[in-house]
Chains A and B, each alone.
Chain A
């Protein structure tokens, strides 16, 4: 069973913390990979929060294709960070030749456009890049978004940490929100895109479980938005539903839970908002999830949240100190990161709530 985790802090945190968080749950994963998404970046990216950063793993040829496309589209590179890799023998890692994190300035013609127009352009650019690099596996574009970087790799998480020199904390590569998972996709083909967390237009989601409504979700989502592609993993559906409900339909986050795990009809009947809840349930029945799941999500404003399936078949714990909140599949992960916290205040979310952490680390528990 895979394990997931997330850290949100008032201070910038190095990915080594995420590695430690996942390392302590090592027995729960199969060492097939490690992936993380960092939001609200610090270090070298801190000064470029308003500009999009491309997260790319590629071949030399792929890099050239991607850069040519970006330049042709009018994007100008303002920052490039290539992690120093430690390619020592014996590491269990299936690495790509290049890992590139590049920050770009918007094309001139769009600089004065609305935020929404910029967001659509960034998505189109990422989709185009992905399509162009798909041949011969020239490259994998994980995210292209302001203040977000993504790293995904196949192999043993410890070795991946060693390869990217992530065990040693420094101040260059940090973020206030880091979500991570230690496992490659195991239900379907093992491909780099399949590793959690998944990202789309500022939204990140990762999950621990099995979406038995995958086929239904996928068949429905494919027609909803051009960005809903890939479907390399059944959990990708959770991200697309989050994006659809919150961004496309413009509904408050609290309704996400009503969409994915609707209340039974009997309970809906007793609610004051029965009319709305029933309409949601019937219109979005194809976005429902079934099967065991815990979902962790990040919104574009860096809000972090978690919720579970309707029967609470997968675990999640929320631990916190004054400046940090940690989500973890197992409490041992939190013990590693926040050994001195008051564990009596740990939250074990139930099947009918969303636990939300805002940017002041205020914890809210929303009953469905």
Chain B
């Protein structure tokens, strides 16, 4: 008998166990080849076999070496439960099973002396969402004929840019009795109210990025939906900066300033203005920490675009070297507005935190009308990689924080002057239209979404801890990896097709929600259209309570 070593890792310490049926396995090797985490491996086992050869039972035993598939007992190559093995197995011989007894979060820290890092989704409280406790409760009655979602026209557009209050519009009445513009006002773009959220070119595989960009272009040019895509902080390929498709891109600058040098250098060669500039002040899922691009994902082309060596890249939540919000506003004013000669709206993105309303109040009172949008990212938001403790435990739910910001504007009579955009767990259930609609009723001008876009592309991760390996560079779906072999699993055209189709369905669904409440433009601030069966939610959001 072997000596028992109590500290050895076994599959029972890991979050997933591999279910394997040797009798069904044909040893084709597909599962092992497909597992990007190397969590399974072929192994030879010594098996005892009892057999009888004559007419009468005459049992004999034989020992033979049999090849089988086994789970790797490694804290590095542990199974993420992505289920790719199951997907490729022709015989249903293998698949991951959730291990309720796992000690993963403890043994990892004990063995590595480092915090657990994870990509993807928030794992705590994943079943209960405030948005699901809200209903669109204002259904039209006889005196309030509904619109026809199929027949009537709807204006599903949201502003991106600083809106001047009516009294400050540079208008004069001309001799012909018409209003004439006599001065400058900030640039405003009217775009589709669901932006493809900021996921950097380093976070996503180049094929995924290409697919998203293709979908954006298609939605704009073929479907007539002015959908915008945010570049994320990773910088933008120079070829795209010089192309006509730049007009669909919101360029993001953040504390890491990744790729910004290249963007500035490309400015003289740009044939189109970008759709906007988004300056990231804080981050959604990890307001105290920062996005993380692990060295494994910093491929050569990422190094080139960002101008960095192959190393872990942290994008801290705060502007380095900035002292206050006023200073960051000043920075925006000096850098981006001036750089694009006030033709391009500049917005900021902050984390939904206890202080985000203060930031918003500060900006909305700014006399220079600089900030062209307030992007608010809640606890469920965020890109693909961070320390697990940040992902799970920091941040603020988006719904009440967005509502706070809107009501702060209402109190000052300044609603709409800085468009509010919100994200963080929207579309988690798959129904982005419903979530977006409810957020708008609560005061958002529009929403942005990242993870749902990944889901559209074929991401297998979920909120129950399945996969969530975006940080490893080993994404089994080829979405968040820079490994050529893995990235090639993804078909960019299929990605684009899925995103386009989802947007078309969502567009239809938004109208289906707008029609019964009698709206032909977006229901921004129509909190009267919402009800909640949860008294606490109703009181907190100042909407009607029903039971």
Query: Contacts of B180 on A, CB cut-off 8 Å?
Result: 276
B144 touches A291 (CB 8 A): yes
List the B side residues contacting A284 at CB < 8 Å: 166
Q: Report the nearest B residue to A212, measured CB to CB.
A: B518
Contact between A282 and B159 (Cβ–Cβ < 8 Å)? yes
| Distance between Cα atoms of A264 and B178 in the complex (Å) | 20
Dominant SS at the B interface? loop
Contact B179 A251 (CB under 8 A): yes
Residues of A within 8 A of B163 (CB): 282-283
B177 interface residue, CB < 8 Å from A? yes
Measured between C-beta atoms, what is the minimum distance from A226 to chain B in Å? Answer: 12
1/0 contact trace for B131-163 toward A, CB 8 Å? Answer: 000000010101111010000110101010001
Any A CB within 8 A of the CB of B368: no
In the complex, are the beta carbons of A210 and B143 less than 8 A apart? yes
Contacts of B147 in A (CB 8 A): 311
- Is B188 positioned at the interface, with any CB of A under 8 Å from its CB? yes
- Choose among B157, B169, B410, B528 the residue that contacts A283 (Cβ–Cβ < 8 A): B169
B406 to chain A minimum Cβ distance, whole angstroms, is 9
B299: Cβ under 8 A from any A Cβ: no
> Assuming the A-B contacts A212-B518, A215-B526, are A286 and B416 also in contact, with contact meaning beta carbons closer than 8 angstroms in the complex?
yes
Write out the residue numbers on chain B whose beta carbons fall within 8 Å of the beta carbon of A288.
521
Interchain CB contact under 8 A, B178 and A252: yes
Q: Given A1-B143, A276-B171, are A216 and B188 also a contact pair (CB < 8 Å)?
A: no
Instruction: Specify the chain A residue showing the minimal Cβ separation from B413.
Output: A223
Question: Are A292 and B520 in touch, CB under 8 angstroms?
Answer: no
Q: Do A278 and B188 touch (CB < 8 A)?
A: yes
Contacts of A214 in B (CB 8 A): 528
Are B145 and A292 in contact (CB-based, < 8 A)? yes
A219-B410, A220-B415, A249-B166 known; A290 and B518 CB under 8 Å?
A: yes
Contacts of A98 in B (CB 8 A): none
Find chain B residues with CB under 8 A from A171 CB. Answer: none
Interface pair A285/B416, CB less than 8 Å apart? yes
B177 and A290 contact, CB distance less than 8 A? no
Q: Which of B153-197 contact A (CB under 8 A)?
A: 153, 155, 157, 159, 163-167, 169, 171, 173, 177-181, 185, 188, 190
Shortest B49–chain A CB gap in Å is: 76
Question: From residue 80 to 127 of chain B, which have CB atoms closer than 8 A to chain A?
Answer: none
Residues of A within 8 A of B178 (CB): 252, 254, 273, 276
B71 at the interface (CB under 8 A from A): no
B525 part of interface (Cβ distance < 8 Å): yes
Complex CA–CA separation, A220 to B169 (angstroms): 17
- Report which of A209, A215, A285 forms a contact with B527, defined as CB distance below 8 A: A215
Q: Mark B313-339, 1 if CB is under 8 A from A, else 0.
A: 000000000000000000000000000
Q: A-B pairs with CB below 8 Å: how many?
A: 108
Given contacts A212-B144, A292-B144, contact A286 B518 (CB under 8 A): no
Contact B173 A250 (CB under 8 A): yes
Chain B residues whose CB sits within 8 angstroms of the CB of A296 once the complex forms:
none
Q: What's the minimum C-beta distance from A242 to chain B, rounded to whole angstroms?
A: 14
Give chain A's interface secondary structure class: loop
Contacts of A215 in B (CB 8 A): 525-528
B138, B143, B181, B521: the one within 8 Å of A276 (CB): B181
Complex-state Cα separation, A58 to B220, whole angstroms: 62
- A222-237 to B contact mask, C-beta < 8 Å, 1/0: 1110000000000000
Q: Contacts of A244 on B, CB cut-off 8 Å?
A: 166
Q: Give bound CA distance, A284 to B417, whole Å.
A: 10
Task: Give Cα A276–Cα B181 distance, bound, in whole angstroms.
Answer: 7
Q: What chain A residues lie within 8 Å of B528 (beta carbons)?
A: 214-215
On chain B, the number of residues with a Cβ less than 8 Å from chain A's Cβ atoms is 43
Cα–Cα distance between A126 and B33 once the two chains are bound (Å): 83
CB-CB under 8 A from B159, the residues of chain A are: 282
A290 engages B521 (CB within 8 Å): yes
Distance between A140 CB and nearest chain B CB, rounded to angstroms? 25
B23 at the binding interface (Cβ < 8 Å): no
- Give the distance in Å from the alpha carbon of A210 to the alpha carbon of B190 in the complex: 28
- A265 interface residue per 8 A CB criterion: yes
Residues of B with C-beta under 8 A to A186: 143
Q: A282-B163, A283-B164, A283-B169 are in contact. Are A222 and B413 (CB under 8 A)?
A: yes
Any B CB within 8 A of the CB of A213:
yes
Chain B hits for A219, CB < 8 A: 410, 415, 525
Closest to B177 in A: A252
Q: Are B526 and A216 in contact (CB under 8 A)?
A: yes
Q: Which residue of B lies closest to A186 (CB)?
A: B143
A145 to B166, CA, bound (A): 27
- Is there contact, CB below 8 Å, between B181 and A275? yes
Tell yes or no: A12 within 8 A of B by CB.
Answer: no
Q: Find the A residue at minimum CB distance from B188.
A: A282
Q: Does residue A82 face the partner (Cβ distance < 8 Å to B)?
A: no
Q: Once the chains bind, are A249 and B524 in contact (CB under 8 Å)?
A: no
Assess whether A276 is in contact with B179, with CB atoms less than 8 Å apart: yes
B190 to chain A, nearest CB (A): 6
Whether A255 pairs with B169 at a CB distance below 8 angstroms is no
CB < 8 Å neighbour of A255 from B145, B153, B179, B185: B179
Interface residue? A154 (CB, 8 A): no
Neighbouring A residues of B190 by C-beta, 8 Å: 265, 278, 282
For residue B19, give the distance in angstroms from its CB to the closest CB of chain A. 54
A276-B152 Cα distance, complex, nearest whole Å: 26
Query: How far does the alpha carbon of A284 sit from the alpha carbon of B185 in the complex, in Å?
Result: 15
Interface residue? B296 (CB, 8 A): no
CB distance B145 to A224 under 8 Å? no
Beta-carbon contact of B524 and A285 below 8 Å:
yes
Interfacial residues of chain B within 514-534, with CB under 8 A of chain A in the complex: 517-521, 524-528
Given contacts A249-B166, A273-B178, A279-B185, contact A286 B525 (CB under 8 A): yes
Which of chain B's residues has its CB closest to A254's CB? B177
* A313 interface residue per 8 A CB criterion: yes
Interface centre among A1, A278, A290 (most CB of B within 10 A): A290
Q: What is the CA–CA distance of A252 and B155 in the complex, to the nearest angstrom?
A: 25
Closest A residue to B138 using CB positions: A212
A276 to B172, CA, bound (A): 10
A224 to nearest B CB, angstroms?
Answer: 7
Q: How far is the CA of A262 from the CA of B159 in the complex (A)?
A: 15
Chain A residues within an 8 Å CB radius of B153: 264
Chain B: minimal CB distance from A282 (Å): 5
Q: Are B415 and A290 in contact (CB under 8 A)?
A: no
A252 contacts B416, C-beta separation under 8 Å: no
The one of A216, A252, A278, A283 in contact with B166, judged by C-beta atoms closer than 8 angstroms, is A283
Q: Does A151 sit within 8 A of B, measured CB to CB?
A: no
Say if the beta carbon of B412 comes within 8 Å of chain A. Answer: yes
Distance of A157 Cα from B532 Cα, bound (Å): 40
A54: interface (CB < 8 Å) = no
A280-310: CB near B (< 8 Å → 1, else 0) gives 1011111010111000000000000000001
Taking the closest CB of chain A, its distance from the CB of B122, in whole angstroms, is: 32
Chain B residue contacts of A210, Cβ below 8 A: 143-144, 518
Query: Which residues of chain B are near A310, meaning CB under 8 Å?
Result: 520
A selection of 7 A-B contacts at a CB cut-off of 8 Å is: A210-B143, A223-B412, A244-B166, A249-B166, A251-B171, A276-B181, A313-B145
**8 shortest interchain CB distances as A-B pairs:** A223-B413, A212-B518, A215-B528, A291-B518, A210-B144, A283-B166, A216-B525, A276-B179
Further pairs besides A213-B519, A223-B413, A286-B525: 9, Cβ < 8 Å: A210-B518, A215-B525, A252-B173, A264-B155, A265-B157, A279-B185, A280-B166, A282-B190, A290-B520
